[in-house]
Amino acid sequence: MYLKSRLPREMNRKMNSFDLNSYILYKRKQIDGALEEILGHTSNPSRLINAMKHSLMAGGKRLRPILCITAAEAVEGKTDDVVRAACALEMIHTYSLIHDDLPAMDNDNLRRGQPTCHVAFDEATAILAGDALLTLAFEILSSMELTNKNHALKWLRVVNTIATAAGYKSLIEGQMRDMAAEDILLSLENLEEMHALKTGALIEASIITGAILGDGSLEQIEKLKIYARNIGLAFQVTDDILNVEGDPAVMGKDVGTDQTHKKSTYPSILGIEKSKEFARKLVNNALQSLDCFDNKSDPLRAIAHYIVERKR
């Protein structure tokens, strides 16, 4: 049985003066509990499962699954089943991080404050752990179509949305462009295109998935797409800024790596202050897209601010 997504009574009383920290803490616990249940509790887990858990349960921000659940709440949908999709999205995101950290790509040693998967285990195990998380995500998503035939078409739409965002035209293409762009000065337009694929696509898919499962209207989904595209890019701009001036102890990963790999970033093209101004503009665009929503979308509004104010 997956954890229920209703907020505690004390949180409901706070919604008028929205407490994002409490909201995120609650949602993280909900998601972590569901992930633990999916992976199972065995006294003697295999090396593969240990590697999967090492990266998946390392205490990430859980931004994508939280956005998925929050979008469903914003369109006033039931969120119990959405947790399954949220967990699948986090698995796909974690798989992409495991592969991104590999020696053949970014060759990073730290992720989420601990050794990356290939450092903690070995390169082959890390590759297989990433593969396993990706395929498990779609096992989870497709299982809903088999167990709840009344909503099979809706879940098929979700599978298509997520698969497209994670596939060769989006996330994987974005990673390919990122590697190819080392030692090359990209234009601002090309940089935005790359990050819309590598970072923004899965963030957008997370929000749209929540809206679909929450039975959002076509108008609501279109507005949420605008929100998603703006916060997805704002997230990457902020990541680039933190790679320059962030604190490794707070971030849980090394800083200065973009410069080491000679990557084009928003600070390298625009400078730090103009990058921060650009991120704020994107957040304002995202907030304007929510004008037609009531206070049930307050978590989305607060998350938009959090994306540019975060320290990790």
Cα–Cα distances in angstroms (integers) from residue 286 to residues 153, 188, 212, 274, in the given order: 29, 20, 19, 18
Say which residue the tokens 């949180």 belong to: 11
* Joined tokens for residue 254: 């090394």
pLDDT digits (tens, 9 = 90+) for 137-170: 999 999 987 766 678 889 999 999 999 999 999 9
User: What pLDDT was estimated at residue 257?
Assistant: 85
Nearest to 64 by CA among 204, 172, 237, 175: 204
Specify the residue for token string 């970072």: 199
User: Greater confidence, 281 or 185?
Assistant: 281
Long-range pairs for 249-255: beta carbons < 8 A, 24 or more residues apart: 250/311, 250/312, 251/311, 251/312, 252/110, 252/111, 252/112, 252/113, 252/114, 252/312, 253/108, 253/110, 253/111, 253/112, 253/113, 254/108, 254/109, 254/110
* pLDDT tens-digit map of 260-298: 888 899 999 999 999 999 999 999 999 999 999 999 999
Domain boundaries, the chain: 19-309
Residue 157: name the closest of 168, 137, 142, 135 by CA.
Answer: 142
pLDDT at residue 21 is higher than 60: yes
Average pLDDT, the chain: 90
Residues 6+ apart with CB under 8 A from 159: 138, 141, 142, 145
Segment 202-207 shows an average pLDDT of 98
Whether residue 78 is predicted with pLDDT greater than 70 in this model: the reply is yes
The C-alpha angle 131, 116, 236, rounded to 5 degrees, equals 85
In sequence order, the β-bridge partners of residue 111 are 114
Contact 69, 5 (CB under 8 A): yes
Q: pLDDT band at residue 89, thresholds of 50, 70 and 90?
A: very high
Per-residue buried b or exposed e for 244-268, using 16+ beta carbons within 10 Å of the residue's own CB: bebeeeebbbebeebeeeebbbbbb
Q: Which amino acid, one-letter code, is at 187? A: S
Task: Give the three-class secondary structure for 245.
Answer: helix
CATH 1.10.10.10, domain 19-309, yes or no: no
185 three-state secondary structure: coil
The dihedral through the CA atoms of 66, 72, 74, 76 has a sign that is negative
Q: Are 68 and 5 in contact (CB under 8 A)?
A: no
Q: What is the pTM (predicted TM-score) of this model? A: 0.90
Give the contacts of 42 (CB within 8 A, at least 6 positions apart). 49
Q: 114-115 and 110-111: which strand pairing? A: antiparallel
